[in-house]
Amino acid sequence: MRSAGTVAELVQRQWGDHRPGLRHQDTVLTHHQVASGAAARAALLTDLLSAGSEPHLGVLLDNTPEFPLWLSAAALAGAAVAGINPTRRGAELARDILHTGCRVLVTERAHLPLLDGLDLPGVRMLVTDTDAYAELLTPYAGAEPGDTARPDIGPGTRMLLYFTSGSTGAPKAAICTQGRLAAAGQSLVDHFGVRREDVHYICMPMFHGNAVIADWAPALAGGAAVALRRRFSASGFLDDVRAHGATYFTYVGRAVQYLLATPERPDDREHPLRLGFGTEAGAVDAARFRERFGVRLVEGYGSSEGGAAIQRTPDTPERAIGRASARDDLAVVDPETGEERATAVFDGAGRLTNGAEAIGELVNRGRTPFEGYWRNAAAEAERVRGGWYWTGDLFFRDAEGFLYFAGRTDDRLRVDSENLAAAMIENILARWQDAAAVAVYAVPDPVAGDQVMAALAMREGAAFDPSAFAAFLAAQSDLGTKMAPAFVRIVPAMPVTATNKVHRVGLRREGFWSGGPVWRKGTGTGYEPFGDEQLSALLREYEAHGRGAFCPQPPDGRGIQARPAIEDTAARRVDPH
């Protein structure tokens, strides 16, 4: 079968295929029923979108059958889906919906409290689990994909507007066309040998590119089924896999950690899974996952905007991501000068010894498939400079050309697979009346990604009160669930550069080694003193997960400010349900 040029073509191919195509709890829809449902929604959407407006709809849903049905419907209608993140709050949530020009917002009753009081002029809301929604769809029940697909749809038709954060503050909506999404799906079909009898388990949130591009799209392109989990559950993972016959799933590093934290069972290897594909699991946890569950995890890298990709080959070293894909000319460069960084040097234990010279920003000097940001020319110009695509991610490269992920640039953070902008968190923390200056930056998470650290310079006469600070955070309606600082350090004065900008490079380099008071978010919402004993436990956790090279190093061999011993909370793990 020839490769499809658009997602709409892939949806139309489902028509007449009566094999199971979509599974969710006790619901099973055939591929034909999925195509039929998509056609009905596409016809409704065409009638709802007013002439002259952008053909955009927002989807604020958990992973229910309605999400892939509306993705397929948008493809047929030539519309673009903006995945709306339910961890956003208040004005920031409204901004996401309005910025992307959504004239229709598809949601469910569980998320209606998030929308209470928001000013969303001109936005038509559809609530999927209501009688009114069912009645609205009824007249379109006989629609067929071939009838509802717009004839002018092509590879360049916008398909996704998915948010990614960066140094400019507010999340940017990256554009993904039908052609790029269809090609990405087909590429994974070819790379992993996706079969029609496969079942792709989607437990990562579908408002993220991870689930749509790396899980839903290859299933659609390969004729495989998908199985949905409303929200990720470590304790329910294997039960779902067995119930749905899942053979493939995508992950982020934190999800792998949660799965490994579940109690071991004698039947951990009794399941049909053969492959997991994702990012930031780390070599140590990937090995533990394979040993325990018998499933190979394949680490990949692709910037959210599609501007650079790294492919893993059989000879890729354990801790590396892989080499540049055939289409890309990737380099690790000094972000200030553009000069290539030194080749990585490792000690006998495989730890990087010349990080200061080897770590730099990953750039693509070749032709890039980056398709731009929605109505954000300044962000596009920042992303593509001097003809190069700048990923905003830190890497180092060994003598054989293999690339190793080293973190995010100074004002970007990735927490539990969520991209956050430091500036946005700073704007919220700056409201605290006791703080004279605030800086937010990333410190590496011991397992994957980053944790949020905030440096606070207190106003004259004010002292840091952890209870008051926690209460302040709880009162901020726009503080997303991933934004609260995991660490707070108190500085006598905010360090600045010669141009009076906050010296984030220095703050990040020091990390926990501040020589002053440091507090760590404890159980619940409070903050607890973080002393040398707790730091030692944290350092052991870095080493246990093979991330010791990424841990901030002491500038002079000293520990952080000594404090009375307190209960060690560094190794605490949480298993979400």
Averaged pLDDT, 62-73 = 98
For the structural domain made of 7-231, what CATH number should be given?
Answer: 3.40.50.12780
Averaged pLDDT, 413-417 = 81
- The proportion of the chain whose per-residue pLDDT surpasses 90, expressed as a percent, equals 58
507: which 2 tokens? 């703050």
Per-residue pLDDT reduced to its tens digit, 344-373: 998 887 777 787 788 889 999 998 889 999
pTM to 2 decimal places: 0.79
- In angstroms, the CA 181 to CA 209 distance is 10
Say what the pLDDT of residue 1 is: 59
Least confident of 164-168, 197-201, 429-433: 164-168
State yes or no: pLDDT of 161 exceeds 80: yes
Say what the pLDDT of residue 498 is: 47
- Residue 440: strand pairing partners: 454
First to last CA, the chain: 41
Please give the sequence-ordered ranges of beta strands (E in DSSP) within 78-224, or none if there are none: 80-83, 104-107, 124-127, 158-164, 172-177, 199-202
Residues 6+ away with beta carbon under 8 Å from 426: 438, 439, 440
- In angstroms, the CA 78 to CA 379 distance is 25
Per-residue b/e over 219-240, b at no fewer than 16 CB within 10 Å? bbbbbbbbbbbbebbbebbbeb
> Starting from the edge strand earliest in sequence, which strands make up the sheet with 275-279, in order?
27-30, 20-24, 225-228, 199-202, 248-252, 275-279, 296-299
Quickly list DSSP for 387-434: TEEEEEEEEEE-TTS-EEEEEE-TTEEEETTEEEEHHHHHHHHTT-TT
Domain edges within the chain: 7-231, 301-408, 414-550
Nearest to 319 by CA among 355, 286, 364: 286
Say what the pLDDT of residue 250 is: 96
Nearest to 229 by CA among 251, 261, 254: 251
481: which 2 tokens? 């669930």
Per-residue pLDDT reduced to its tens digit, 110-135: 999 999 999 999 999 999 999 999 99
Residues 6+ away with beta carbon under 8 Å from 37: 29, 69, 72, 73
- The proportion of the chain whose per-residue pLDDT surpasses 70, expressed as a percent, equals 91
- In angstroms, the CA 91 to CA 118 distance is 7
Say what the pLDDT of residue 500 is: 52
CA angle 204, 253, 316 (to 5 degrees): 115
- Residue 101: strand pairing partners: none
- Token match 């890309």: residue? 328
Contact 178, 155 (CB under 8 A): yes
- In angstroms, the CA 306 to CA 309 distance is 7
240: which 2 tokens? 């779902």
**H/E element, 34:** helix 31-48
Indicate the fold that domain 301-408 takes in CATH. Answer: Luciferase; domain 3 (2.30.38)
Architecture of domain 414-550: 2-Layer Sandwich (3.30)
